[in-house]
Structure 1
C-alpha cells in the first residue's frame, strides 16, 4: 500500500512540476511577444511622427520627458525666425541636420523661408522626419524576463548602418513599457545625430 502511495505522490509531483514549467514558459512567451509589440509600436510612432504615441510606450518615469523632447523636435519653429536667411547656407544646414531629406522637401523648405510661408514650412518640417525614419527598422533579437523587469537586445538598421541596442523594460500597470533612460538611448539607432532648431536658426545671414 505504501509503495502505491509513494508512487502516486511521485507521479503527482512530477506532473505538477511539468505543469509549472509549462506555465512559466507560456508566461515568458507572452511577455516576449508584448515586448516585441512595444518595440514595433515605438518604431511605428516614430515613422508617423507622433510624439504622444511614441511616449506612450515608455514607463511613467520617462514618459513626460520623452513626450516633451520629441514634441519639441517634431514641432516646426516659426518661419519668421529664419527670415532673411541665406538660402545657400540654409540649404547646406538642412542637409547636415536631415541627411536623408529629399531634394524636393529641402526645396520646399527653402522656398517656404524665402516666402515666409508657414504652412509650406511646417509641411516640409514634417516630411523631414518622415523621410528620416522611413528606412529605420527594429528587431528584437533577445529577451530576458526577470519578474517585472526585462532586458532586450534590439537590432536596428538604417541607411547609416546597423547595430544592436540594449533596452530595459518594466511591467507597469499590467503592461510592459520601455524604461531605457534617454541618456543611454543610441542616437544612431534612430538616425538623429544632429542638433535641430537651434542649429537651423544659426544658418541665418
Structure 2
C-alpha cells in the first residue's frame, strides 16, 4: 500500500493553482487587447461616441450662412494624461455662427522617446455638442510625437447657426493621452540612474 506524502500533495496542488493563474492572466491580457477593437465596432454599429470623426466637410461649411447678428464665445481647455505638455494657443475667441474658424493647440513630448497619443474632445454645455462642427481636427487621428518634439495642431470648426439662442458660450476641451505606456517604468528609472548626466 503506497502512501503519498503531504509534500507531494502540496506540490500537486501548487502546480494546479499555478497553471490556473497563468491561464487567467493570459485571458485577462487577451481581453484587454480585444477591448479597443470591440469598443470601436460597437460604436460604429450604434453610431455613438463619434466625437473623433469629421462632423462636416469644408464645402458644406462654406455654404453655411453666417449669422452676423450673434456672437458666441468659444473657450478652449486642454488636459494631458501622461507625459505630454498640451495647451491651446489662445484661451478663447468670439465667433459668429456659420463662420469657419481655425485655432491651434500646442503639444510637446518632453520624453526622450517616441510617444503615440490620441486626443478626445468634449463640450460644455452638452447640448452644444451637435452644433459644434469639426471640419479638421488633430483628434481625428493618432499623433506620433518624436523625442522632445513640439507640434502645432489645428482645429477647423464652425458653429451651426441652429445653435439655441440661449447658448452664449461653448467650451471645447481636449484630453490628450498616451496610447501605450512604457512596460516597466522601474526599468526606465534604473536606466536613468545608471547613466551619467553630461
TM bin, normalised by shorter chain, reads: 0.3 to 0.5
Normalising by structure 2, we get a TM-score of 0.35
Indicate the structure with greater strand content: 2
> What TM-score results when the alignment is normalised by the length of structure 1?
0.34
